[in-house]
Chain A
Amino acid sequence: MNKVHNNKAWWLVLPVFLLVAFSAIVPMMTVVNYSVQDIFDQSSRYFVGADWFRQVLRDPRLHDSLLRQFIYSACVLLIEIPLGIAVALCMPTKGRWSTVCLILMTIPLLIPWNVVGTIWQIFGRGDIGLLGWTLNKLGISYNYASNSADAWVTVLVMDVWHWTSLVAMLSYSGLRAIPDVYYQAARIDQASAWAIFRHIQLPKMKSVLLIAVMLRFMDSFMIYTEPFVLTGGGPGNSTTFLSQTLTTMALGQFDLGPAAAFSLVYFLIILLVSWLFYTAMTHGDKN
């Protein structure tokens, strides 16, 4: 669509700008302010420059949770994106069943995050949960509260349960946007199902997949509530992710300076990785 150049359109955007600025820029500046000062109380505060940043970047606790976070996000993307695409390909294209499928699939998305944690907490317990009980009966020893590998896998499965539907729905909407002509042409050429997927469906789904990858990366990188409810970050530190480390630092220990510096680093990492995904996936278009 060719757009008209008109600076008066700013008036239409102004409410959004003011609202988001109020809840984004003011808090952000507070964070920046904290990150360069050492604050004892209202009256005594000292400018410390980049000290907090230096301290935070050397903190081994943060290195550990950053590493855990990257492995976790990578696993989430590697499982959820292919699975979501596969589910979308299996869904009926039209009629009542597609509505039923879509509605059933949105259910996990509509459950408050702490309740997601609760559901899996109940479901996975060895004594009262179906999953834990079944696994133990099958002779697999499973206890997410004491074994860190079990806890880790449970958090991952919980995330797959929770969010794969979003990827599937986005892929489904991308698939529906492909005109029928493409499939007819493919049929004439006697293309295999794989060739149709590789050369028609996948390229056409690119833009929605970009959204899916970015949303899933951002949200899995910020995950807090579900593991907090399920495992509380334990056993040990095996499921303590970045957000939780940060919240403990800011609200638990009240280390405002390091917490603020860490917040900024955290935000920059997300921005950087999202930007990398974005350029990597849109770069292919130009060639």
Chain B
Amino acid sequence: MNLRKVVPLLLYILFLLVPIYWLVNMSFKTNGEILGGLSLWPQDFTLANYKVIFTDESWYSGYINSLYYVCLNTVISLTVALPAAYAFSRYRFLGDKHLFFWLLTNRMAPPAVFLLPFFQLYSSIGLFDTHIAVALAHCLFNVPLAVWILEGFISGVPKEIDETAYIDGYSFPKFFVKIFIPLIGSGIGVTAFFCFMFSWVELLLARTLTSVNAKPIAAVMTRTVSASGIDWGVLAAAGVLTILPGMLVIWFVRNHVVKGFALGRV
């Protein structure tokens, strides 16, 4: 490691962390201190902002709703994408290339385009304001992505393993669950991470498809703006709490992700 590489890297990471530091710093301050002047460290350390969130049901249910539909979406995406990625990686079939490209074009569709039709579609089938509606809507961009990433990982597993298993008398479903899925564990970890990430950060569709029961935290956050101005402390605390789930997930899958990146397959 030489200095010419370390210094720019540290500068970049500093650039990434300073705005986050400011948010965390602010979440521990009282509103009086925030508006009173600039301080690099909370002078009057308080947990009151967090207490507001954890004691008010309309606040913390936002987190539960968000986590619920994100997990639902990750499970659905992985379940349907695994067999499909296997098919794309192992077989040639009628229209496979067109299908793959069509899947990817869905990743390119601006969510704003789908806003109104989604709203009407889910209202008409009675799914409006449910978690499953948001989970299904997020499949639009997560499933193509999952197929794409998994296909790369599956192509890295030699085909001889499949053939040996069939000779040993495994049926396809048994082979897939017992042998194949453990083999691409890293791939599944990385894919789950990406699905989680893109579903967690999306707001536009989630907000449009929900009103009360499945309202995501991102929409709840607009509550901090009231007639008396913005409640900066609570807003900052809510922001900090939205960063935490992502950090937990990256911590759990860090080895898979690093391995996936090291193999150059992501």
Contacts and interface: CB of A to CB of B under 8 A. Distances in A.
Max chain A C-beta neighbours (<10 A), residue from B15, B18, B38? B38
Majority secondary structure of chain A interface residues (helix, strand, loop or mixed): helix
Q: Most chain-A CB neighbours within 10 Å: which of B22, B137, B236, B254?
A: B22
In this complex, the member of A12, A101, A176 whose beta carbon has the largest number of chain B beta carbons within 10 angstroms is A12
A246 interface: yes
A17 interface: yes
Interface residues of B, number: 92
Contacts, number: 268
A266 B110 contact: yes
B17 to A, nearest CB: 7
B258 interface: yes
Contact of A119 (B20, B115, B197): B20
Interface in A81-95: 86-87, 89-92, 94
Nearest to B260: A173
B182 interface: no
Contact of B261 (A114, A118, A173, A222): A173
Given A6-B91, A7-B94, A101-B9, A1 B155 contact: yes
A26 B143 contact: no
Interface of A: 1, 3-10, 12-13, 15-17, 19-20, 22-24, 26-28, 30-31, 86-87, 89-92, 94, 98-99, 101-115, 118-120, 122-123, 127-131, 133, 161, 164-165, 169-170, 172-177, 208, 218, 221-222, 224-225, 242-244, 246-247, 250-251, 256, 259, 263-264, 266-267, 270-271, 274
B254 A107 contact: no
A26 B144 CA distance: 17
A92 B1 contact: yes
B204 A128 contact: no
B232 A274 contact: no
Contacts of A109: 197, 201, 246
B203 A114 contact: yes
